[in-house]
Amino acid sequence: MSAPAVDLRRITKQFPGVLANDEVDLTVERGSVHALLGENGAGKTTLMNVLYGLYKPTSGTVVVDGEERTFDSPRDAIDAGIGMIHQHFMLVEPMTVTQNVVLGDEPRKWAGLAVDREAAREAVAELADRYGFDVDPEATVGDLSVGERQRIEILKALYRGADILILDEPTAVLTPQEVEELFDVFDELTAAGKTIIFISHKLREAIAAADEVTVLRDGRNVGTVETDAVDDTELAEMMVGREVLFDTEKSPVEAGSIGLAARDLVVEDDRGVRAVDGVDIEVAEGEVFGIAGVDGNGQSELVEAITGLRTPASGQISLDGEDVTDASRRHRIESGMAYVPEDRQARGLVMSYDLTENGLLGSQRAPQFADGGRIRWDDAEAHADSIVEEYDVRPADANAEARSLSGGNQQKFIVGREFARDPEAVVASHPTRGVDVGSVEFIHDRLLDLREDGAAVLLVSSKLDEVRSLSDRLGVMHDGELVDVVDPAAVTEEQLGLLMAGERPDDVPRATVRAGGER
């Protein structure tokens, strides 16, 4: 019997004030798909960063293919056949697929004086063909979808000889169709003898894609199970140490007047192309209006226009009856609009700021924190501490820099900051992206609390179960248009899929309730 591809023995990783991994054992069989589950801050990414050479373990042993190894850098791990695809891709968008794949390891010609571009293109094309990747080596990465960019990251690792692939939250930003395509890629890779370890919060995807699942909780390995012998309820309880409720219960709410609206809205993207084409939306006080759709169909531009980050070409945006089409971002915040952005690092946080500073963003002039133009830092730190405590942000340190947190903990802090504004209207774009199952449940409950308090909630999500369970009415976007508004309790996933593809079946249960009616 061959040695496991990976055998981590009693790995401990200690940071100042934080025990991230506590004598963790992990065995991954060669040619298998192994999922690593756990709450945000459970130590999953830290453990994989040890395997990839980004961190040196405080103690413990790393064994790869039966050989004990010491990695001083990712270069050592790459030389040992390990590749890692990070949650936030590391691609140069203006460059081509080929240039990105071979970057730093280009084939040379003329005694090494020049890059052999043709050899590079052929190598990338051959690699893509071998693993069934539908990729154009000459395509510009900036023009590709998220799913295509992820495949480029995988090609980069394979080009460097990776036999063991680590993927950090690989489905966090993918559409359902792209998730299926990624799992097909897993099948191709394992059939070729590759080993895959992927970090995830999504229980059903882990069960569907992996052969085995290991669960970490508070830095410890609480168990490894075969996926054909476990269900999502059991995995959730292993992750959080308690029963998790997957079904969201909404109480009937008497909807009020229109709190947030967009009328005949036209928005162009960065290239000047019309991305939102005459969209009409009305969100009542005490209502969650959901928007579903495949990413890239105008949802991002719609949200940016509503929140003041992009100027619409035409149309009107109103907040609590006030025309805010030309109002600044600050004015919208001061008028009661909270915003959870889809890109937490680009739009939600200043990564070099600590949590106290990030907790002030958008409120630095509010009387709660400022007096005569001077910030009261004790009050600001107390505010950050309250968010950290209520939303279980780890590490629980208001002085920690945002970039030191895992993606899921960054997301929880943003959600806590925005919901703490006591908003009149909430625009939540993918609010649970990259967040663990226990925190998803908590964030959903907070959204519904805001709904019950009379906030108008606009929810944009690629998770169909999320928008169907939380929404009172559900709009579907395709090619910049709002193609229909349906009853989320009655519409089927198949019907939603057709609408998201631009088709309009006759039997779709349409929403009829408007402001002033019970939901």
Instruction: Enumerate the domain spans of the chain.
Output: 6-240, 247-336+424-519, 352-422
Query: How large is the C-alpha radius of gyration of the chain?
Result: 24
* Residue stretches of the chain with pLDDT short of 50: 515-519
Q: What are phi and psi of 333, to 5 degrees?
A: -65, -45
CA distance 368 to 364: 9
User: What is the model's pLDDT at position 515?
Assistant: 47
User: What is the model's pLDDT at position 500?
Assistant: 86
User: What is the model's pLDDT at position 174?
Assistant: 72
What is 247-336+424-519's CATH topology? Rossmann fold (3.40.50)
Please state whether 117 falls in left (phi above 0), alpha (psi between -120 and 50) or beta. Answer: alpha
CATH number of the domain at 6-240, please?
3.40.50.300
Beta bridge partners, 9, equal: 61
CA atoms within 13 A on the CB side of 35: 27
CB 488 within 8 A of CB 467: yes
- Torsion over CA of 346, 347, 352 and 356, rounded to 10 degrees? -160
Beta bridge partners, 274, equal: 268
User: What is the model's pLDDT at position 517?
Assistant: 45
CB 119 within 8 A of CB 137: no
Q: Check if 6-240 and 247-336+424-519 are the same fold.
A: yes
User: What is the model's pLDDT at position 518?
Assistant: 43
User: What is the model's pLDDT at position 233?
Assistant: 87
User: What is the model's pLDDT at position 16?
Assistant: 85
